Structure 1
Amino acid sequence: MSARTVLAVSDLTAAYGNATALHGVSLEVREGETVALIGANGAGKSTTLRTISGLLAARSGRIAWEGKDITNWPADRVVAAGLSHCPEERHVWPEMTVEENLRLGGYLCGSRREVDRRAALAFGRFPRLQERAGQLAGTLSGGEQQMLAIARALMSEPRLLMLDEPSLGLSPKMAEDVFAVVRDINRHGVTVLLVEQNVHNALSVASRAYVLETGRVTAERNAGDLRDDPDLLRTYLGG
């Protein structure tokens, strides 16, 4: 694993109206890592991803991608720079087919041929989606919709993939399949920043983890240390 930092977030603040959601969040992601953001509901995990990806404006602080300041770039420019965001609750277009949903992820491609190439790669990685290419996305199972959302995010060929709650609402078996996909994506060179409510699932794929509490980073630890020490987990997360 390279030690080169590709994403550096420094003293980031963000708000929804008058309600401040992030209070000086700082974190870094190195090339080739999977880094998890963990914490209770409302801790600011999803807000952190939304601010990095340009869906929510930062009030202050800095977001640097490969050394370049991308703070408050529009979302399409963030995607073009090499970051892709797979949102919570999947947000597939239910009245469009699996293939149509997938191809929409390649909207920044310069040609139809390039979209075709990326779609073929996606179907090769997700054979279940290829079997259902002509099926309406709204008729897929929750796990299949999650696979589609991840495949669609990969259509931009990101160097950093941000995943928000990929196992939300899934059966344990389907969640296991999704995290196998996350491992495979990372093995093939895509750096991953993961938000996941299921702490043990998150720590099973991550190399490092940041703990968020009420919009603040309260700890950064090696994922293995947290995974193997229940007392340490309780110290940071309660319960």
Structure 2
Amino acid sequence: MPALAVKNLHVAYGSIAALHGISLDVQKGETVALIGANGAGKSTTLRAISGLLPVSSGDVLWEGRSIANLAPDRIVAAGIAHCPEERHVWPHMTVAENIALGAYLCRSKEEVQRRTGMAFHRFPRLRERAHQLAGTLSGGEQQMLAIARALMSEPRLLMLDEPSLGLSPKMAEEVFEVVRSINVHGVTVLLVEQNIHNALSVANRAYVVETGRIVASRLSGELRNDPELLRAYLGG
């Protein structure tokens, strides 16, 4: 049984259909990428899974139980965290305060402190900047902060939306090393990423999304060696 199973998912923005029956699965311990052009429906898929968009029809199963249209906080409590596109850190709060926001479901100050300590252990650069305003960080540091905040809920599935957006190649490489490390340490990852090279370098498998539909599913190595498919759906 897959950890996550999306079945015939339909989502609309008002009267405009955005997803047209997307189905995918993610096995426990995998990193799976959703790749495709801008506007293909990748981010919409993540937002529907995490409860930020209503599901018109179809289902989302997490560890065998339906979570379609649950409130976002209940989905976080169930073990899924969503690190959004463009990071959305709070610029006028410190790094430490931003990280603590990710533990809003924790019931004790001691537990928040324990998780914050683990976040700083994983991201030593953030520990050095704990009292610095988040808005003064570089783009890469803000991305690491957004990931650290998402991990504060101790998810079993981490969904990442465009983690390399706007980053230099060197900083993007650092971020993807973090993604690899997170996965190696037992967190399943569902990744949306426009940079195909980055996505396929960390993913076990990938789905190609086009106009709200899955049009291909391959092992990452197979996709890398199929330039015709990549050119057909992604322009190269």
Q: Normalised by the shorter chain, which TM-score bucket?
A: over 0.9
Rounded to whole Å, the distance in 2 between the matches of 1:41 and 1:238 is 12
Q: Which amino acid is the alignment partner of residue 167 of structure 1?
A: S
2:167 aligned with 1:170: yes
Partner of 1:15: 12
Distance 2:165 2:229 in 1: 24
Deviations, residues 136-187 of structure 1 (Å, cap 9, x unaligned): 0000000000000000000000000000000000000000000000000000
Specify the alignment match of 1:74 in structure 2. 71
Cα deviation, residue 99, structure 1? 0.1
Residue 203 (structure 2) pairs with residue 211 (structure 1):
no
Q: Do the aligned residues in 2 keep the contact of 1:166 with 1:196 (CA within 8 Å)?
A: yes
Give the corresponding residue for 2:83: 86
TM-superposed CA distance for 1:17, in Å, is 1.1
8 A Cα contact 1:219 1:236, kept in partner: no
Aligned to 2:127: 130
C-alpha separation in 1, matches of 2:185 and 2:163: 19
Total equivalences in the alignment: 236
The code of the aligned residue for 1:151 comes to A
Q: Quote how far apart the aligned CAs of 1:205 are.
A: 0.2
What's the secondary structure of 1:202's corresponding residue? Answer: helix
- Structure 1 gap segments, 5+ residues each: none
- State the alpha-carbon separation in 1 of the partners of residues 212 and 233 from structure 2: 14
2: CA distance between counterparts of 1:131 and 1:183?
Answer: 22
Q: How many angstroms apart in 2 are the aligned matches of 1:59 and 1:12?
A: 8
Does 1:119 find its partner at 2:127? no
Q: Distance in 2 between matches of 1:141 and 1:227?
A: 31
Query: Aligned match of 1:49 in 43, 46, 49?
Result: 46
CA distance in structure 2 between the aligned counterparts of 1:221 and 1:89, rounded to whole angstroms: 27
CA distance in 2, matches of 1:228, 1:149: 33
Q: 1:232 — aligned with what?
A: 229
Unaligned runs of 5+ in 2: none
State the shift of 1:105 in Å: 0.3
Q: CA deviation at 1:16?
A: 0.9
**2:3 is paired with a residue of what secondary structure?**
strand
Which residue of the other structure, out of 59, 63, 72, is the alignment partner of 2:60? 63
Taking the aligned partners of 1:39 and 1:236, their CA distance within structure 2 comes to 7
Question: Which 4+ residue blocks in structure 1 deviate beyond 6 angstroms?
Answer: none
Give 1:227 shift.
1.5
Percent same amino acid at aligned positions? 74
Judge conservation of contact 1:32–1:191 (CA < 8 Å) in 2.
Answer: yes
Question: Partner of 1:150 in structure 2?
Answer: 147
1:208-231 superposed Cα distances (whole Å, 9 cap, x missing partner):
000000000001111111123323
Please list, as runs of the form range in 1=range in 2, the aligned pairs for 1:21-32 lying within 5 A after superposition.
21-32=18-29
Partner amino acid for 1:224?
A: G
CA distance in 2, matches of 1:42, 1:229: 23
Which residues of 2 match residues 194-205 of structure 1 at below 5 A? Answer: 194-205=191-202
Give the structure-1-normalised TM-score.
0.97
